[in-house]
Structure 1
Amino acid sequence: MTVEVWWSPCTSRECPDMEELDVVLDMNDTATAFTLDMHPNLGDPVEQFGIELESTEEDDDRCQFRSGGPEVCPPDFKETDDKTFWIYFVLRFVGSITMSAAVTIMDPIALAMIEKYGGDFGKERLFSSLGMALFSPMTGALIDWSSRRLGYTDYSAAFYAFDVLLVVSALAVFLMPLGTKLPSDNIFRDLLNIFKMPHLVVFILFLFILGNLWGFIESFLFFYLRDLGAPNYLLGITVTVGTLSSLPFLYGAENITRKIGHINIIIVAFFAHAARLVGYSVIE
């Protein structure tokens, strides 16, 4: 069965920001094709139209057009079983722990290498930001390209790219002459001594708040942008813009720290996060 949709997006020169059209198919067991024809004076559609397949009553299939969705309707809809969920949960849990540990020790490794061979910490960190700025939009564009005719978003490209880059990074770290450093005789005693210093406790509290803001953005930003209809390559570009803007500060980190001090840098970071959250809140 073929459904032709003739639809004018607006009746005047003032068009609404978003239009939605529902097509309900009742008792349709065969494939259904949808075509979209725009008025000749309107030109080609500016935004692609996708279809959502909602879970409704039995024998009632419903597809909903929405801006920024997939190009075709998914042929079958079925909920993920518990086995798939728990496999993903375990893999995600283990992967997050190991990745958090690896990222955490990257800074001490960089500091140890700088202390041993000389260098600037900001310039060392510059290359990690440059890698994020380069590969994030490339991976997003690859996801969009591989998903263009599937009817759903295939994130396999992101996992494959991550695995390749992870192996390259692991080999690079393995070949680095890091050396060893003896741990503290009593780690818990040293930790208690730190918490006896009021100014350090306040500093840790500020870092806790700043980390919560950062974690909130990293956890929900992409979901928020996807709800707004953003394509995957745009999600990568948001990472690129953020990392590219940090490159001048990383390159001149030593001079900036010397002039304004570490505490003022943290204060600027708080205001920057506040401005970033306010900016996201006004996006429609």
Structure 2
Amino acid sequence: MEGKNITRKELVNVNLLSLKCLMFCFFGGMGCLFPFLPLHMLATGLTYEEAKIVSIVSPIVAMIGPLVAGPLADKLAGRQGSNSRASTGKYLRVMIAVTCILGAIFYAALMAIPRVERLTIPQERNPQVKFSCDESGAIVFKDRCKLPATCYEWPEIKPGPIRLTNCDYQCKLINPEPRIQDDVTTLKPFTTDYVDEGESSGDLTVIPIEENEKDDRQSIYKRETIEPPHLCVKEDGLDVCHVYTTSSGSINIYATLQQARNPNEISERCAYPLSDQFSCRIPTVLRTKMLKFNKSCSIDCDLYEPYKMSDSVLAQVKCQQLIGNPDHTFWSYLVVRSIADVFPTTAVALLDAAVVIATRETSCGRGDVGRQLAFGSLGFAIFGPLTGYLTSLVEGAQPSFSIPIDIFAALMVISALIAVFANGMPLSPPEWWWHTRSGMLALPMSAIKRYGGETAALLFVLVIMGIFWSAMDTYLPWHLEQLNADVVLIGVCLTIGALPAVIFLWKSEHLVDYCGHSNLLITAFTIYIVRFTGLSLVSGDPWWSLASEVLELFTLGIMWVTAILYLRHLVPRHLTVTAQALPVIAHFCIGRCIGAVISAYVDVGQRNVDSLRFVYKCMAVAAAIIALKYFIWYHALIRPKCHAQSTQGPRQPPTIMEAMNGNGNYTPLRVYHNGRGRKGQFRY
């Protein structure tokens, strides 16, 4: 009977129920917020460039929270521990509650920022557009609108039809900034002398010669046979050319316009390059003649009804009316969002420390860290899709994304109430944590210096992991939206990986013991190769992205619990909160910022599906290189060295931790985590 009671007590720890509820509500709130913040920035009226600046700056500002809260919490714990043997850990619960409340307040403040609307202005005359093409590519020029005097920024770039007419050769003065109307020599057919060459006939075109050219004074015009304009595009590796003649009428092409290459320059016209591999053949004789007059030639065409054609790519490029103050909205959003990100980031570090403290390792050497995190992962997986569904149901096709922020704020308030009133939550550190020098059960302060290199190496790995995570997830909602995904699918994609992670986290400590910390980190790098490759192949149906996102349980879930367990032993116990703040800073602050910069830099000027797919391809290659180097470095250099030390035995007297292990051969984590040892004798 007594054995049954013990078994039941081990399965259901009543003291940890409040902690599980806290983890579920807090990370459930993060699941509401995380997938939809990038979309909320655009819904507020920020441009893509402004939204990227916010995504880059906010992680750096968020670093302040863990940097301050970690040492402060450890100092408060030390003060209570030295004065009372029965410290309740209330300081930690209050800090968690405060960060949750402040996070709810500042994220709710985002809804009070005035929105910017860009409305299309019906005009009597639409902006004039012109198509220009040469050997280097094709560009569409469009007159600028007066207000605002910037070029249109595509919210979604996709291919569409363009109908070209009145195509002809035009030679312009060589100028780094071409214009529609410049010092232009238009080469019209010389209709009195037409040369018939059968199927390959061309027009006899006159080429004017400047009068100051003495060599050609006697012949003002030279007649050359010039082929009709050829507009070519690569399809499946082959050049397919459209030939325009006087009897062609118009040519229909399928093209994708990129973002303007001169959005903020002082010029009359915006230049939109075509992303497709267009090229136009300029006859050699024409190019040679015009170089004498410092002119370059191109094929210029008019666009037939660019704003009225069905599915035209230029249908959106109309002058817009700006409602609101873009500068005020941007700076307000940047400041409020940066401050708001401080508090969830801080709360994650405090919660990780609370889990480590509350789940003291048992006599078998394992606690319940993974089980507490499993409830947080479950909340993250549930509330993401649920919030997306409610948003689509309540706010319709053009949501303002107030529903995710409202639900997040409500869950943060609930989390704060749980933290404040859960007096039974076992957050009181054992007394011997504060007597590391005299006791034999805790890591001494000298361990900071001894294992500082190993800690630094782990944090460096976490920074790299954060870069990969940020490069993938920071702009993934935009990528899915451009693939015509709705808010429900976006919520599912960005949180689906947390659902299978629940199963793995439940037995995560056994998994870490068996596989080893470094082996799991190598596995995470390897899974990143698969995830990036999978996303780079998704160009049509966004549902295919689920296959890549479900693997996030390895790249984030298992990786995170591995880092928590690793640092639990590398850093002295009385610095637990500071220790758990380090991976948050490395992964979710530094790594997240660098990843956002990399993705934004590669994506500059394009912001379409193809550019993000290119980012994913590059990151897949980077993950493969790092995984290979890490594997070789660890298994070829570090592991054999540590194994040799463990077989030969230490040359110096055993340390406190070695004495705890009982065999005198313990090197924290470097030996036992590769499968040759167990931490069975560890007790908190």
* 1:57 is aligned to 2:149: no
- Change in Cα spacing, 1:261 to 1:196, as seen in structure 2 (3 Å) is closer
Structure 2 distance, partners of 1:89, 1:138, is 28
One-letter amino acid matched to 1:162: F
Structure 1 distance, partners of 2:446, 2:477, is 36
- Change in Cα spacing, 1:246 to 1:63, as seen in structure 2 (3 Å) is farther
TM-score by length of 2: 0.29
Once the two structures are superposed, residues 133-169 of structure 1 have per-residue CA deviations (whole angstroms, 9 ceiling, x without a partner) of 11101111122223326xx321111110110011111
Q: Identify the match of residue 172 of structure 1 among 418, 423, 426.
A: 418
Q: Is the 8 A contact 2:361 2:367 kept in 1?
A: no
- What pairs up with 1:1-284 in 2 under 5 angstroms? 26-27=123-124, 57=145, 78=323, 80-115=325-360, 119-148=367-396, 152-176=398-422, 177=425, 178-179=427-428, 193-194=448-449, 197-284=452-539
Offset at residue 96 of structure 1 (A): 0.4
Structure 2 distance, partners of 1:64, 1:147, is 31
Offset at residue 79 of structure 1 (A): 5.5
Q: Is the 8 A contact 1:257 1:265 kept in 2?
A: yes
Aligned identity (percent) is 26
Q: Is the 8 A contact 1:194 1:200 kept in 2?
A: no
Q: Is the 8 A contact 2:468 2:528 kept in 1?
A: yes
Structure 2 distance, partners of 1:203, 1:116, is 22
- Change in Cα spacing, 1:195 to 1:281, as seen in structure 2 (3 Å) is farther
Q: Is the 8 A contact 1:146 1:154 kept in 2?
A: no
Structure with greater helix share of residues: 1
Structure 2 distance, partners of 1:214, 1:183, is 37
Once the two structures are superposed, residues 18-75 of structure 1 have per-residue CA deviations (whole angstroms, 9 ceiling, x without a partner) of xxxxxx96549xxxxxxxxxxxxxxxxxxxxxxxxxxx7369xx79998xxxxxxxx9
What is the RMSD of the two structures over their aligned residues, measured on CA atoms?
A: 3.7
Moved more, 192-201 or 159-168: 192-201
Structure 1 distance, partners of 2:367, 2:335, is 40
Q: Which residue of 1 aligns with 2:303?
A: none
Offset at residue 195 of structure 1 (A): 8.5
Structure 2 distance, partners of 1:65, 1:254, is 59
Once the two structures are superposed, residues 107-143 of structure 1 have per-residue CA deviations (whole angstroms, 9 ceiling, x without a partner) of 1111111128995111110111110111101111122
Q: Which residue of 2 aligns with 1:71?
A: none
Structure 1 distance, partners of 2:309, 2:475, is 24
- Change in Cα spacing, 1:184 to 1:204, as seen in structure 2 (3 Å) is farther
Q: Is the 8 A contact 1:137 1:240 kept in 2?
A: yes
Q: Secondary structure at the match of 1:132?
A: helix
- Change in Cα spacing, 1:171 to 1:183, as seen in structure 2 (3 Å) is farther
One-letter amino acid matched to 2:373: R
Q: Which residue of 1 aligns with 2:288?
A: none
Q: Which residue of 2 aligns with 1:47?
A: none
Q: Is the 8 A contact 1:110 1:121 kept in 2?
A: yes
TM-score by length of 1: 0.66
Once the two structures are superposed, residues 78-131 of structure 1 have per-residue CA deviations (whole angstroms, 9 ceiling, x without a partner) of 364322222222210111011111112211111111128995111110111110
One-letter amino acid matched to 1:91: V
Q: Is the 8 A contact 2:357 2:429 kept in 1?
A: no
One-letter amino acid matched to 1:212: I
One-letter amino acid matched to 1:154: S
Offset at residue 217 of structure 1 (A): 2.4
Structure 2 distance, partners of 1:255, 1:196, is 24
One-letter amino acid matched to 1:78: I
Q: Secondary structure at the match of 1:115?
A: coil
- Change in Cα spacing, 1:254 to 1:195, as seen in structure 2 (3 Å) is closer
One-letter amino acid matched to 2:405: F
Q: Is the 8 A contact 1:195 1:201 kept in 2?
A: no
Max radius of gyration: which structure? 2
Structure 2 distance, partners of 1:108, 1:120, is 13
Q: Is the 8 A contact 1:136 1:236 kept in 2?
A: yes
- Change in Cα spacing, 1:204 to 1:119, as seen in structure 2 (3 Å) is closer
One-letter amino acid matched to 1:107: D
Offset at residue 199 of structure 1 (A): 3.4
Q: Is the 8 A contact 2:381 2:495 kept in 1?
A: yes
| Unmatched tracts of structure 2, length 5 or more | 1-120, 126-143, 148-306, 312-319, 437-444, 540-684
Higher relative contact order (CA 8 A, sep 6+): 2
- Change in Cα spacing, 1:183 to 1:216, as seen in structure 2 (3 Å) is farther
Q: Secondary structure at the match of 1:57?
A: coil
Q: Secondary structure at the match of 2:145?
A: coil
